[in-house]
Amino acid sequence: AHLARIDAVDEKVNAFLYVDREGALAQARAVDEKRAKGEKLGPLAGVPVALKDIFTTEGIPTTVGSKILEGWIPPYDATVTRKLKAADVVILGKTNMDEFAMGSSTENSAYGPTGNPWDLTRIPGGSGGGSAAALAAYEAPLTLGTDTGGSIRQPAAVTGTVGVKPTYGGVSRYGMVAFSSSLDQGGPCARTVLDAALLHEAIAGHDELDSTSIDAPVPPVVEAARNGSVQGMRVGVVKQFRGEGYQAGVVQRFDESVELLKSLGAEIVELDCPTFDLALSAYYLIAPSECSSNLARFDAMRYGLRVGDDGTKSAEDVTALTREAGFGDEVKRRIILGTYALSSGYYDAYYGSAQKVRTLITREFEAAFEQVDVIVSPTTPTTAFPIGERADDPMAMYLADLCTIPTNLAGNSAMSLPCGLAPEDGLPVGLQIIAPAMKDDRLYKVGAAVE
Ligand code: GLN
């Protein structure tokens, strides 16, 4: 049914970069056979899942939305892919994304933009716009995303779906193509809070292949999603997450969500977190710095594209020509920004200062979580904007992640879930719930209560 749905709508939506028809049908048949034999199957057995094209999949192309990896077929599975296969899910294919997960609209994909199923002339968010659009268009019931600064939550918000950024280290990064390693985190995307919890549980847990993976039990997210409640909880509302640049309908739906939380028995606590105003600036030094280092491996020798290898040029020239042709404008912009911020003479002023700000933001979260159990905010300041509107204005594009970035810098967990449609344009608005590190279950408890 999902393959038929993809055939019917994906030409318009462009959520998928690759559909693994034969593989998906073979996996589905294998589950049927296991079931017929009475073998034990997990809770997601036979359920189709689509993966953001940043997770390696053995034998299936993985492009990260970039020309530089065109034609590359990974020889191994990401830990997350391996876990999903072990859980007997059916892998449908790979979803579209901004190149190397850099963007908030999926317009930076080298394979064309994805449309928002609510209005195909608008963006589905990014970088994981393909995963969110596939859910909203009913092409897949579950998808996977990655969130470095908001790429799971902002697409969820603008497509009326649910997305969770787990605690940093909660889901293995092994086989997840690196953008900014200290911020990148894989996580679940779904249409309901419980669906997200089931996927979360299937992919989370300690992994020796990822040195930053947390060696602790997975928070009880499914149990929490089945027992939604905010009775007696203290819920923080941060002063800095509103004001200029926030659409009226977004603020209205957010305020209504706060009223709903109150009526369900939560106590609302106003919080002042002044360093959150610096988060965007710190992020746009730290993320490009790490990306400039991570992307050095795309040297035309190891993977994918190779340009100018005609026997007359040096290896250095081939590397340069390949990068010139293979990387898009945003990726080049970030590599240049990152190498500049890390260069001797500027390192302390830029990268060093950004790291200090990061520490202050982490401390501010710690202080906030002494007063409250969770924090809520709008996920993103506006509803889905038209394709093309911010394409030539990086600063306007970066503002989409104003509310999501602080969580990545601190490493704690957060969810976006739908909280109604904005009255002025009829488009979905997302409510963000933020919890302390390794308390991901609180997101699901609160999410299930207000869903
Ligand atoms: N939009 C942000 C960026 O462009 C976040 C991306 C992400 O979370 N991968 O960097």
Note the pLDDT of residue 366: 98
Report CA(101)–ligand 1 centroid distance (Å).
6
Using pLDDT thresholds of 50, 70 and 90, give the confidence band for residue 18.
very high
Note the pLDDT of residue 261: 98
CA 358 to chain centre: 20
Note the pLDDT of residue 428: 98
| 3-class DSSP state of 367 | helix
| 3-class DSSP state of 145 | strand
Using pLDDT thresholds of 50, 70 and 90, give the confidence band for residue 7.
very high
Ligand 1 neighbourhood includes 176 CB (under 6 angstroms): no
Indicate which atom in ligand 1 lies nearest the CA of residue 334. 10
| 3-class DSSP state of 25 | helix
Ligand 1 neighbourhood includes 127 CB (under 6 angstroms): yes
pTM higher than 0.95 for the full model?
yes
Note the pLDDT of residue 211: 97
8 A C-beta contact, residue 287 and residue 148: yes
Cα distance between residue 413 and residue 427, in whole Å: 26
Enter the tokens of residue 240. Answer: 């800095």
Average confidence (pLDDT) over 156-162: 98
Tens of pLDDT along 71-95? 899 999 999 999 999 999 999 999 9
Report CA(149)–ligand 1 centroid distance (Å).
5
* Sole residue written with tokens 């393959």: 3
Note the pLDDT of residue 121: 98
Ligand 1 neighbourhood includes 101 CB (under 6 angstroms): yes
Length of the chain: 451
Note the pLDDT of residue 355: 97
Nearest CA to ligand 1 atom 10: 102
Note the pLDDT of residue 437: 98
Using pLDDT thresholds of 50, 70 and 90, give the confidence band for residue 235.
very high
Note the pLDDT of residue 433: 98
Average confidence (pLDDT) over 91-107: 98
Using pLDDT thresholds of 50, 70 and 90, give the confidence band for residue 99.
very high
Note the pLDDT of residue 360: 98
Catalytic residue IDs: 52, 127, 151
Average confidence (pLDDT) over 410-426: 98
Indicate which atom in ligand 1 lies nearest the CA of residue 400. 1
Rounded to the nearest 10 degrees, what angle do helices 440-450 and 193-203 cross at?
160
Note the pLDDT of residue 422: 98
Average confidence (pLDDT) over 21-36: 97
8 A C-beta contact, residue 82 and residue 346: no
Note the pLDDT of residue 369: 98
Report CA(391)–ligand 1 centroid distance (Å).
14
Note the pLDDT of residue 77: 98
Q: Measure the CA angle with vertex 397, ends 391 and 398; round to 5°.
A: 145
The runs of H, that is alpha helices, within 167-274 are 193-203, 221-226, 248-263
Indicate which atom in ligand 1 lies nearest the CA of residue 104. 1
Ligand 1 neighbourhood includes 104 CB (under 6 angstroms): yes
Q: Which domains does the chain have, with CATH numbers?
A: 1-451 (3.90.1300.10)
Ligand 1 neighbourhood includes 407 CB (under 6 angstroms): no
Note the pLDDT of residue 393: 92
Which has more confidence, 248 or 244? 248
**267-271/90-95 β-pairing:** unpaired
Average confidence (pLDDT) over 374-399: 95
Indicate which atom in ligand 1 lies nearest the CA of residue 103. 4
Ligand 1 neighbourhood includes 105 CB (under 6 angstroms): no
